[in-house]
A and B are shown apart, each in its own frame.
Chain A
Amino acid sequence: MENAIEVVNLTHRYGKQIVYEDLSFTVKQGRIFGLLGKNGVGKTTLIKILMGFLRPTSGRCRVLGENSYNLSPAARTKIGLLFEGHLAYEFMTIAQIEKFYSMQYPGWKRDMYYRLVDKLDLPHNHKIKNMSCGQRSQVVLGLIFAQNPELMILDDYSMGLDAGYRRLFLDYLIDYVKGGARTVFVTSHIIQDLEKLVDDVIFLDRGGDILQTSLSEFMSAFKQFRFKNNGFGDRVHKDHIIKNFDITKSTVSLYSFEPEEAVLRHLNKNGIEVTALEQVPMSLEDAFIGLTGKY
């Protein structure tokens, strides 16, 4: 099995509202995939479909070779799932929740759980309902690592985590992937974290338009150019060359997958008299905003 996740021609609607139409992508085993998109594009809906909590309107979705809507218990043993908001059984204590999950998963790594959770410096009889959001998230992430799954699906893992623990978690995650044919499918609002983490990215836009690429390819192909706003700024518009733009009083910023010469030629052809473009280095977050827009 080469692909951990296969989505083919997936269409999903809420009533008349189309969330995706003919969405297709694959997640190869052993890779870390980042799913990026603005609020409301359907990231959580996609994860619900992947985990069988939602039946798609049409299309095929397979996770670890099985239909996502009908995952067998054996397949679920191999999938570590982090729900948005770090859901946990709040009536349990730190020790009780570990005991409960350890009975469910044969490859349970108790030490891994306590290595992460003991950093909270809380007694093991501390109830989860009495924890802060950040503390609870640490417990939940500890449980997922202890499960030692083949595939991790993490829906906004960074929610509620402080910078230090986020860094610690990323270190653990990278070690986890190095440990064998492990796959991670992750969404996060902290895009700079993903820059250090992911091998591949999927940019999801409203209506299910996607761009799937490796991070390195994307970062080298997608460019930001800037020129002085000499009064031609209002002639700039999105098209097959210019993916997005941002205009201030003094400068015009353009985002494109084309090389500088092609962009310059395109601008001149559209009556925008520019003699030179300045290429601006971008972080993944800059590139994400450049591709999807600020709003």
Chain B
Amino acid sequence: MLASILYKEWLKIRPYLAIVFLFNAAVLVYLFIDLRHLFAIEHAEMIWYWAFQIGTLHYAHIKYLLPITGVIIGAAQFVPEMIGHRFRLSLHLPVRSDALVLWSGLIGLLAVGIIGVLDALSLYAIIGIFFPSEAAESALLTALPWLFAGPVTYLGTALVTMEPRLVRKLVYIAVSGGFLWLFYQSNDYESYNRVLWKLALLALLSVPSLILPAYRYRNASS
């Protein structure tokens, strides 16, 4: 059962995964080029001053990278199911509908997560080329809220896409938007260190909420 769900979700995600992978890679390459350019035209002590005295973020390029990725992956998975009420095909499969939706969601989250990990490793490596390792670690901690925003937009997209009623869609957009807003409240270094894991846990706890629009879809398919 899991193998068949994985296969179906893979077929839907595959073409978009290549696009988001290239998009993420392009932004990271741009970050590298931008930093190299900065070090070419400025004195190192000036960059140090900007980064560690004023608190300028030199890697804000990736701020919205994973949230955009989350929207694309979520749409790639759930829009084809909703066009022409094809979700009824999935709900007729010999699988419990809650398990079906949860596994589909976890597969999407895994895809977003893998890209997020690649983004994090790339950021660490790029910053590590130009700054000491402490700065690379700090960049990672600073960027983590932006990376955790990826699963939030993924779940929001899935909820909004599956929900059959417009009013509820708007409510889900508002709730997801509000949740997303929490991850972008500060531009300071490591300002989320004390709340980050609580926010991540909250995002994780919202995974089962995917069952609700699927249940409502079944009831409202008339």
Q: Identify the A interface with B (CB < 8 A).
A: 14, 45, 48, 51-55, 73-74, 76-77, 79, 81, 83, 85, 87-92, 96, 99-100, 103-105
Per the bound structure, the CA–CA distance linking A92 and B11 in Å amounts to 7
Interface residues of B in 1-45 (CB under 8 A from A): 1, 3-4, 7-8, 11-12
Asked if residues B92 and A77 are in contact (CB atoms below 8 Å), the reply is: no
The A contact surface, by secondary structure, is: loop
Answer yes or no: B219 CB below 8 A from chain A CBs: yes
Answer yes or no: B89 CB below 8 A from chain A CBs: yes
Q: Which 3 A-B pairs have the closest CB atoms?
A: A103-B4, A77-B94, A73-B94
CB-defined contacts of B85 to chain A, threshold 8 Å: 83, 87
Known: A87-B86, A89-B86. A76 touches B222 (CB 8 A): no
Asked if residues B222 and A45 are in contact (CB atoms below 8 Å), the reply is: yes
B12 touches which one: A52, A91, A104, A105 (CB < 8 A)? A91
B11 touches which one: A14, A73, A91 (CB < 8 A)? A91
CB-defined contacts of A87 to chain B, threshold 8 Å: 84-86, 88-89
Per the bound structure, the CA–CA distance linking A83 and B92 in Å amounts to 10
Answer yes or no: B221 CB below 8 A from chain A CBs: yes
CB-defined contacts of B8 to chain A, threshold 8 Å: 89, 92, 100
Per the bound structure, the CA–CA distance linking A258 and B210 in Å amounts to 58
CB-defined contacts of A103 to chain B, threshold 8 Å: 1, 3-4, 7
Asked if residues A105 and B94 are in contact (CB atoms below 8 Å), the reply is: yes
Shortest CB-to-CB span from B8 to chain A, Å, is 6
Interface residues of B in 75-122 (CB under 8 A from A): 80, 84-86, 88-89, 91-96
Asked if residues B221 and A89 are in contact (CB atoms below 8 Å), the reply is: no
CB-defined contacts of B96 to chain A, threshold 8 Å: 73
Known: A52-B218, A100-B4. A91 touches B80 (CB 8 A): yes
Asked if residues B86 and A53 are in contact (CB atoms below 8 Å), the reply is: no
Asked if residues B4 and A104 are in contact (CB atoms below 8 Å), the reply is: yes
B94 touches which one: A54, A74, A89, A90 (CB < 8 A)? A74
CB-defined contacts of B95 to chain A, threshold 8 Å: 73, 104
Smallest Cβ-Cβ distance to B4: which chain A residue = A103
Smallest Cβ-Cβ distance to A83: which chain B residue = B88
B88 touches which one: A53, A73, A90 (CB < 8 A)? A53
CB-defined contacts of A91 to chain B, threshold 8 Å: 11-12, 80
Smallest Cβ-Cβ distance to A102: which chain B residue = B4
Q: Identify the B interface with A (CB < 8 A).
A: 1, 3-4, 7-8, 11-12, 80, 84-86, 88-89, 91-96, 218-219, 221-222
Per the bound structure, the CA–CA distance linking A77 and B92 in Å amounts to 9
Smallest Cβ-Cβ distance to A106: which chain B residue = B94
Per the bound structure, the CA–CA distance linking A52 and B91 in Å amounts to 9
Smallest Cβ-Cβ distance to A45: which chain B residue = B222
Smallest Cβ-Cβ distance to A105: which chain B residue = B94
Known: A54-B221, A76-B93, A81-B92. A90 touches B11 (CB 8 A): no
Asked if residues B94 and A76 are in contact (CB atoms below 8 Å), the reply is: yes
Shortest CB-to-CB span from A183 to chain B, Å, is 17
Asked if residues B88 and A14 are in contact (CB atoms below 8 Å), the reply is: no
Smallest Cβ-Cβ distance to B91: which chain A residue = A53
Known: A83-B88, A87-B88, A88-B89. A53 touches B218 (CB 8 A): yes
Per the bound structure, the CA–CA distance linking A85 and B88 in Å amounts to 12
Shortest CB-to-CB span from A122 to chain B, Å, is 18
Asked if residues A89 and B88 are in contact (CB atoms below 8 Å), the reply is: no
Some 11 contacts from A to B, beta carbons below 8 A apart, are A53-B88, A53-B218, A54-B219, A54-B222, A89-B80, A91-B11, A91-B12, A92-B11, A100-B4, A103-B7, A104-B1
Asked if residues A96 and B219 are in contact (CB atoms below 8 Å), the reply is: no
Smallest Cβ-Cβ distance to B92: which chain A residue = A81
Per the bound structure, the CA–CA distance linking A52 and B7 in Å amounts to 26
CB-defined contacts of B221 to chain A, threshold 8 Å: 48, 53-54
Known: A90-B80, A104-B4. 16 other contacts (CB 8 A): A53-B218, A53-B221, A53-B222, A54-B221, A73-B96, A81-B92, A87-B84, A87-B88, A88-B89, A89-B8, A89-B80, A92-B11, A103-B4, A104-B1, A104-B93, A104-B94
Asked if residues B93 and A48 are in contact (CB atoms below 8 Å), the reply is: no
